[in-house]
Amino acid sequence: MPIAVESYGDSAVMVTVDHDRPATRRAGIVDFRARFLARRPPGVLDVISGLESLLVEYDPLVTGPGHIEYAARLIDDLPPEPRSSGAPAPARFRIPVVFDAETGPDLANVADELGLTTAEVIDTMVSSTFTIALLGAATAPMMDGLAVPKPVRRRAEPRTDVVPGSIMIAGTNAIIQPFPGPTGWRVVGRTPHVIVDITRSRPMSYSTGDVVRFVPITADEALALDGTFLLPEGGDA
């Protein structure tokens, strides 16, 4: 699939996929990343995934943007990486979420924006199948797959302190807040699970490509799960 490569500062290039459909661009950049990492060119220091882009940082004393672009285009012409028979299948998560006015302060406004009732927005969240596209700030799982009638706008004025476990949406994506912090995403619910625990040998149980479904629960049901670590279906603690 054709790619575009542009200089990004004095020691990086930005790679994107040239296609009209967002879903195709996202799938294409995931495929390209796998092939690029399998044949990492000399001088590449880091590869940072975006939702529809790949930032390739390099050592300017070893290589330059022309060499990186040349290598990227050669790699793009190669066939996709075959899936190894021993490669793990994507993990699947059923994440319990409380959807109400307290845990989802933007729920009513999102419903008004979409021309739906709050119950219909919740039904949309529950019926959507999400795939973790990338890990954002503080390893927050950003997910594709929100089946809304039109993309959801971000808040005009970001919230300054969103609590951990908040389920947030923007565009056709969802994300879960791992730690307290600001956000311009629309907060529509909250899971009682801890999704990142830096005291564990493996601080998070999810990774890109994993599949997520949200399951509505009551506030009373959430109390029994409060503070428990998020695990995939069939996962061990």
Residue 129 — pLDDT band, cuts 50, 70, 90?
A: very high
Q: Which of 2-11, 72-81, 173-182, 192-201 has the lowest mean pLDDT?
A: 72-81
Would you state the pLDDT for residue 87? Answer: 56
Would you state the pLDDT for residue 20? Answer: 87
Kindly tell me if the per-residue pLDDT of 85 is higher than 90: no
Residues 141 and 212 sit within 8 Å (Cβ to Cβ): yes
DSSP string, 109-120: HHHHHHT--HHH
Q: Which two tokens stand for residue 3?
A: 């790619």
Q: Which two tokens stand for residue 51?
A: 């939702």
Same topology, domains 3-76 and 92-225? Answer is: no
CATH 3.30.1360.40 for domain 3-76, yes or no, is: yes
Would you state the pLDDT for residue 84? Answer: 53
The phi, psi pair for 53, rounded to 5°, reads -150, 165
pTM over 0.85: no
Would you state the pLDDT for residue 237? Answer: 52
What are the residue ranges spanned by the domains of the chain?
A: 3-76, 92-225
Residue 52 — pLDDT band, cuts 50, 70, 90?
A: confident
Kindly tell me if the per-residue pLDDT of 178 is higher than 80: yes
For the ranges 19-28, 76-85, 101-110, 127-136, the one whose mean pLDDT is highest? 101-110
Would you state the pLDDT for residue 217? Answer: 98
Residue 28 — pLDDT band, cuts 50, 70, 90?
A: confident
Higher per-residue pLDDT: 155 or 87: 155
Averaged pLDDT score across all residues of the chain: 91
Would you state the pLDDT for residue 58? Answer: 95
Residue range 8-14: mean pLDDT, rounded: 94
Residue 73 — pLDDT band, cuts 50, 70, 90?
A: very high
Would you state the pLDDT for residue 26? Answer: 81
Would you state the pLDDT for residue 82? Answer: 60
Q: What is the rounded (10 degree) CA torsion for 3, 206, 176, 172?
A: 40
The CATH architecture annotation of domain 92-225 reads Beta Barrel (2.40)
**185-237 tens-digit pLDDT:** 999 999 999 999 999 998 999 988 899 999 999 999 999 999 999 999 987 65
Would you state the pLDDT for residue 62? Answer: 94
Would you state the pLDDT for residue 213? Answer: 97
d(CA 207, CA 141): 8
Among the listed residues 52, 51, 66, the one whose alpha carbon sits nearest the alpha carbon of residue 13: 66
Place of tokens 């195709």: 24
Count CB neighbours of 129 within 10 A. 14
The phi, psi pair for 15, rounded to 5°, reads -110, 130
